[in-house]
Amino acid sequence: MEITNCESYDQLSALAAEVVLHYVTENPNLLLCAATGNSPLGLYRNLSQAAEQMKKMRVIKLDEWGSIPMSHPASCEYYLQQEVVKTLGIAPQRYFGFQSNVANPEAECARMAAVLKEQGPIDLCVLGLGKNGHIGFNEPAEALTDHCHIATLASSSQAHSMVQALQDKPTYGLTLGMKDILSAKRILLLVSGEGKAGAREKLFSKQIRSQFPASYLWQHASVTCLVHTPD
């Protein structure tokens, strides 16, 4: 893991954009796995300044809140449509994602597993670090799940800023699994935001354990980690 401590969130976002642009320049058709939330927002907005270079890449959604309508502003779909798909000019046939409010979530996970098998492997996976160490919706557990699955959300995930205003919080999410993520050729991990200092210290302890899923990133051969935690 290559770690860079950044002086500001703006610097983190700019450096992250440089990483993505480097690999897109090498391979315009690359498959980018896109996280949502506050950590990668600056990255995506920086990339919008180079939209012409980005529009040929493919994008796969890392995860999605269960039961929230796709058009709801709290959904990962809404976020990615606004911050990635539309701004970068990604054509519909080059974007792949979980449907959030399907009648059969198990079948939806199977569908996305088939999509990843067809389109993959992921060339570059963008991740944020959850306060409890989750990546995607791979929450701390006795055993982690390899592939696309339904994840019961931890209370800290239900308190996430994306859904904190909802009266009915989602209780589950749909997510790529740990093996799906670790099979990516390269990973870009963004550690930013208030309340992340504890998670940062656990990550940097290098103790690999299922109760802190992000620790498994130490087993990956190519991880770029950019850090800015004001606390």
Residue 205: which pLDDT band, with cuts at 50, 70 and 90?
A: very high
Q: Cα torsion for 174, 180, 181, 183, to the nearest 10°?
A: -170
Residue 199: which pLDDT band, with cuts at 50, 70 and 90?
A: very high
CA distance 23 to 28: 8
Question: What are the backbone angles phi and psi of residue 128, rounded to the nearest 5°?
Answer: -105, 165
Residue 194: which pLDDT band, with cuts at 50, 70 and 90?
A: confident
- Say which CATH architecture domain 2-228 belongs to: 3-Layer(aba) Sandwich (3.40)
Specify whether the CB–CB gap between 224 and 19 falls below 8 A: yes
Specify whether the CB–CB gap between 34 and 79 falls below 8 A: no
What is the reported pLDDT for 52? 93
**Positions marked catalytic:** 63, 132, 134, 139
Structure tokens at 68: 């929230």
Q: How many CB atoms lie within 10 A of CB 131?
A: 17
Give the neighbor-by-neighbor strand order of the sheet with 95-96: 2-5, 223-228, 186-192, 124-128, 31-34, 58-61, 95-96
Return mean pLDDT, the chain: 95
- Which has more pLDDT, 168 or 196? 196
User: Model-level pTM?
Assistant: 0.95
CA distance 72 to 70: 6
Specify the pairing of strand 149-152 against strand 124-128: unpaired
What is the reported pLDDT for 155? 79
Q: Which residues are paired to 58 by β-bridges?
A: 31
Q: Over the stretch 70-105, which tens digit does the pLDDT of each residue have?
A: 999 999 999 999 999 999 999 999 999 999 889 999
What percent helix, strand, coil does the chain show, rounded to 5?
40, 20, 40
Q: Over the stretch 118-166, which tens digit does the pLDDT of each residue have?
A: 999 999 999 999 999 999 999 999 999 999 999 998 877 877 778 777 7
Mean of the pLDDT values across residues 179-200?
95
Specify whether the CB–CB gap between 46 and 52 falls below 8 A: no
Q: How deeply is 113 buried, as exposed, middle or buried, from its count of CB atoms within 10 A (0-12, 13-18, 19+)?
A: middle
Q: Which residues are paired to 5 by β-bridges?
A: 227
Q: What is the b/e burial string over 56-73, where b = at least 16 CB atoms within 10 angstroms of the residue's CB?
A: bbbbbbbbbbbbbebeee
CA angle 77, 138, 151 (to 5 degrees): 70
Q: How many CB atoms lie within 10 A of CB 158?
A: 15
Structure tokens at 147: 């592939």
What is the reported pLDDT for 229? 84
